[in-house]
Amino acid sequence: MQTDVGGFRHLKMAIKISCCTLGYARTATLEDSIRRIAAIGYEAVDLFTGAPHLWPSDYSQADRKAVSALIDKLGLKLTGFAVAGGLLGLQYSFSAHREGLRKVTLQYYKDNIELAHELGAPLFNILTGNVLYGTSREGARKLTMEALEELVVLAEKRKVILGLHPQYIAESPLMLNVDDALEMIKELKSKMVKIIYDTAQQNITYRNFADDIRKAGSNLCYVHGADNDGIRWTHEAIGKGTVDWDGIVRALKEINYDGYICTQSWSEEPNDVDTVMRDSKTYLDGLLKSAQK
């Protein structure tokens, strides 16, 4: 059976697993990160588009073709991008107090749309960005929505899904949970705007996994999968924290989600990313296999 989601036709299948290069950004090149992910046994990859990884301003046409060729050579499927933003990219904010920064942010996201179209990535995440003291929430949201409306025009033209990504409270007050994202989707009125659900972020900001997944329903296009203790802003191995993964998988199956859970790693302290990614895959493989029985 085939379905048509966000303009992309695909076979209806079970939940699948991908892995993001983000966790390797401090210790390995993009190309080495992709090779490591393949060596661990992943069949799909998600690329971080901040420096020193696939930053659009840094990667030439030849560089991009080489990355695409490497992914194909390793037998991987490209499932999406993870953009720089939030605490990992304070220079990017749709509501920045300086007009120049707002223009830089808008261009960065436009570049990501073009890059996704070029490499065949179906989607990437949208982060609303930091809001500085002196900028009201209402004013910041207005600026953000104006920018998103402009991005939607290009996304519809390039057939790239914009995944609204609710965030950790310290990163942005504008989109904290699924309800906030659904309000934006209603205003933007585009089939190319969906929701990316981040389990590690929501374990700190709004720990209501099953209900939020049910609310998202058919608007859910991707899951960023990681774990933590519910206190510290980290992305640890799945199954090593307090995230209710059994409940999450049950809720995903309930809404007939057949997309990807993309494992991620991030820590303020040195960590062995290979181990984190391997442990996450092992845990998810077991959980998904059990859920299919």
pLDDT at 236 over 60: yes
Measured CA to CA, the distance from residue 85 to residue 52 in angstroms comes to 14
Residue with tokens 């802003």, as numbered in its chain: 233
User: Count of CB atoms within 10 A of residue 239's CB?
Assistant: 15
Do 230 and 192 touch, CB atoms closer than 8 A?
A: no
| Overall average pLDDT of the 27-40 stretch | 98
Binning pLDDT at 50, 70 and 90, where does residue 6 land?
Answer: very low
Task: Report the run of H or E that residue 69 belongs to, with start and end.
Answer: helix 61-73
- Whether pLDDT at 231 is above 60: yes
The model's pLDDT over 255-289, given as tens digits with 9 standing for 90+, comes to 999 999 999 999 888 899 999 999 999 999 999 99
Output the pLDDT for position 169: 86
For the chain, give percent helix, strand, coil, nearest 5. 45, 20, 35
What residues contact residue 7 under an 8 Å CB cut-off, 6+ apart?
A: 159, 161, 191, 192
Tokens of 97: 């107090």
pLDDT digits 0-9 by tens, 142-168: 999 999 999 999 999 999 999 999 998
Q: Measure the CA–CA gap between 152 and 159, rounded to whole angstroms.
A: 10
In sequence order, which residues have a C-beta less than 8 Å from that of residue 284 and are 6 or more positions away?
17, 225, 238, 245, 261, 263
176-190: average pLDDT: 98
